[in-house]
Amino acid sequence: MSNHSQGTLILTRGEVTELLDLNACIEAVERAFRVHGEGAAPDPAMLGIHVAGGAFHVKAGVLDLGRSYFVAKTNANFMNNRTQFGLPTIQGTIGLFDADNGVPLAVMDSIEISIQRTGAATAIAAKYLARPDSTVAAVAGCGEQGRVQLRAVATVLPLKTAYVWDIDRTRADTLAAELGDELGCTITVVDDFASATRNADVCITCTPSREYLLSDEDVRPGTLVAGVGVDDPEKKELDPALMAASTIVVDVLEQCATIGDLHHALESGVVTREDVHAELGAVVAGRTPGRTEEDEIVVFDSTGMALQDAATTALVYERALTTGAGRVIDFGS
């Protein structure tokens, strides 16, 4: 299994899920942010192409984890898939290569990796940017991403209460029923997200919204706001007024300026690139301070860095080699 000169390892979503756990993912993604912040990896790259009804995103990066890996993730995002075709909104695959010789090491489903590495990034942001005594979270968007966001934040903060909101009330009710006992906190479904965020220490938005969900009037001093859902110039979650009133931390500056909530704030003229406090990697690496004041509002603009995918994919691959999971195909035969 370990001799991949003879083939490429293939892993399904189910196999990836069995090999990946959130705590290990958080550890791997934090390492990726630190490497990025230290300038020890080439800048990750992104390509986006729109088609009728959806879009394709390609994110790629190189990460040295004792062995040098190249990862390219191709995700398709079609908002109406569930209602029109009964298909997932997001589908995709990840290619993992040996960055020293180009050997294709693995191809695997991308969905579980995308879910968990996105939650992991918010956990890391909460670790470095939230007040350590934060006990109340508010989450907009109660699909798979809403679940992993709550689970991830609960690993680094002493959550006691969570408010959840979704445009589909049933999804919010289901999340609350599933996670309340698991996380040991009180989860309340709300009909007005902004009313909940005014009482929260951490606010997370993970929706495909085309309208702003939060403004500066909806967030109290000392809050961490994680904008997770915006990965396309047409999406928007955080009002530019909130961005202007906050300390802005991004995952990748150029990427957020192109497709994140930062993009809309820049276009509106209320902030400039120079107003961005830091990339999260610089904070993790200790090159830039994170939160400096108790009453500071910090916004983390999370668009998804390719090195998160690289670190998580490498983790899954190395675990697969140990367990014998998956099957090998020789594409060159």
Identify which of 117, 73, 115 has the alpha carbon closest to the alpha carbon of residue 95.
73
> In terms of DSSP bridges, do strands 68-77 and 54-64 run parallel, antiparallel, or are they unpaired?
antiparallel
Full residue range of the structural domain in which residue 224 is found: 118-304
> Does 52 lie in the same domain as 195?
no
- Alpha carbons 60 and 62: distance in angstroms, whole number: 7
Task: Please say if the pLDDT value at position 88 is more than 90.
Answer: no
Does 2 score more than 60 pLDDT? Answer: no
- The pLDDT value recorded for residue 333 is 81
Statement: residue 4 has pLDDT above 60 = no
**Residues 52 and 185 placed together within one structural domain of the fold:** no
Question: Which CATH number fits the domain that encloses residue 66?
Answer: 3.30.1780.10
Nearest to 319 by CA among 133, 41, 166, 113: 113
Q: What confidence score (pLDDT) does residue 83 get?
A: 87
> What confidence score (pLDDT) does residue 258 get?
96
Cα distance between residue 149 and residue 125, in whole Å: 11
Q: Find the CATH number of the domain harbouring 186.
A: 3.40.50.720
Contact 129, 227 (CB under 8 A): no
Residues 96 and 162 in one domain: no
d(CA 262, CA 242): 11
User: Any catalytic annotation for residue 236?
Assistant: no
What's the pTM value of the predicted model, to 2 decimals? 0.95
Structural domains counted in the chain: 2
pLDDT tens profile 204-248: 999 999 999 999 999 999 999 999 999 989 999 999 999 999 999
CB 302 within 8 A of CB 224: no
- pLDDT value, residue 1: 38
pLDDT tens string 118-129: 999 999 999 999
Q: Domain check: are 147 and 268 in the same one?
A: yes
Q: How confident is the model at residue 15 (pLDDT cuts 50, 70, 90)?
A: very high
Catalytic residue chosen out of the listed positions 59, 73, 127, 235: 73
Mapping DSSP to helix (H, G, I), strand (E, B) and coil, where does residue 232 land?
A: coil
Residue 186 main-chain phi, psi, to 5 deg: -85, 120
Residues 136 and 189 in one domain: yes
Query: pLDDT at position 18, please?
Result: 98
The per-residue pLDDT of the chain, averaged, comes to 95
Residues 178 and 208 in one domain: yes
Q: Which of 36, 35, 32, 58 is nearest to 45 (CA)?
A: 58
Shared-domain flag, residues 107 and 214: no
Residues 76 and 130 both lie in one domain: no
Are 92 and 176 in the same domain?
Answer: no
The Cα 100–Cα 96 span in angstroms is 12
Which of 210, 221, 269, 212 lies closest to 247, judged by CA? 221
pLDDT digits (tens, 9 = 90+) for 17-63: 999 999 999 999 999 999 999 999 999 999 999 999 999 999 999 99
Q: Per residue, what are the HEC states of 65-129?
A: CCCEEEEEEEEEECCCHHHHHCCCCEEEEEEEEECCCCCEEEEEECHHHHHHHHHHHHHHHHHHH
- Please write the tens of the pLDDT for every residue from 293-332: 999 999 999 999 999 999 999 999 999 999 999 999 998 8
Tell me, what's the pLDDT at 332?
Answer: 83
Do 147 and 78 sit in the same domain of this protein?
no
- 157 and 135 co-located in one domain: yes
Tell me 178's DSSP state. Answer: H
287 and 324 together in one domain: no
